[in-house]
């Protein structure tokens, strides 16, 4: 595979500013701890059951936050594997906070751990991911 650089055209469902249907997540990165974090308030359009955020949206936010930890660390990486654990329901209209930390970089793999908590500090979900460095 030749070197390939991931390009952002603003249409990412998770973080794209131009995507009118997306979450428009904003990220803060702490280089010392290699941690990316974000917060958002999910609206009804992201629910599964009435008033409950769809688990796929929770997984998407964990995935994107892990990817952002790698990208903001200067790694051109894409998700290869996620192990997601949903622990408690998240409710629409209530703030959620996600953070992801790079745990290890070995060869072409980046191992990352992430968690989403609600405004009360209750754990909504956790994830472990492996990202593949593509160049």
Half-sphere exposure of 126 (CA within 13 A, CB side): 6
Is 2 inside any structural domain?
no
Q: How far apart are CA 133 and CA 78, in angstroms?
A: 7
Count the domains in the chain. Answer: 1
For residue 66, name the pLDDT band (cuts at 50, 70, 90). Answer: very high
Is 111 inside any structural domain?
yes
Is 8 inside any structural domain?
no
What contacts 94, CB < 8 A, 6 or more positions away?
A: 41, 42, 118, 119
Confidence check: pLDDT of 1 > 50: no
**What is the extent of the structural domain holding 38?**
28-133
Is 125 inside any structural domain?
yes
CATH number at residue 72: 3.10.129.10
Q: How far apart are CA 85 and CA 82, in angstroms?
A: 10
Bridging pattern class, strands 123-133 and 35-40: unpaired
Please identify which residue in the block is written with the tokens 């769809």. 54
pTM for the model: 0.94
Is 12 inside any structural domain?
no
For residue 129, name the pLDDT band (cuts at 50, 70, 90). Answer: very high
Q: How far apart are CA 131 and CA 86, in angstroms?
A: 20
Is 64 inside any structural domain?
yes
């Amino acid at each position: 595979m030749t070197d390939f650089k991931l390009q952002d055209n603003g249409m990412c469902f998770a973080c794209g500013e131009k995507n009118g249907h997306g979450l428009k997540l904003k990220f803060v990165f702490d280089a010392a701890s290699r941690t990316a974090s974000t917060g958002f308030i999910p609206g009804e359009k992201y629910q599964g059951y009435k008033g409950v955020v769809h688990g796929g949206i929770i997984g998407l936010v964990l995935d994107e936050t892990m990817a952002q930890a790698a990208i903001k660390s200067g790694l051109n990486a894409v998700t290869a594997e996620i192990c997601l654990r949903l622990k408690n329901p998240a409710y629409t209209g209530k703030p959620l906070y996600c953070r992801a930390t790079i745990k290890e970089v070995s060869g072409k793999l980046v191992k990352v751990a992430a968690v989403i908590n609600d405004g009360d500090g209750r754990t909504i979900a956790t994830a472990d991911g492996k990202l593949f460095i593509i160049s």
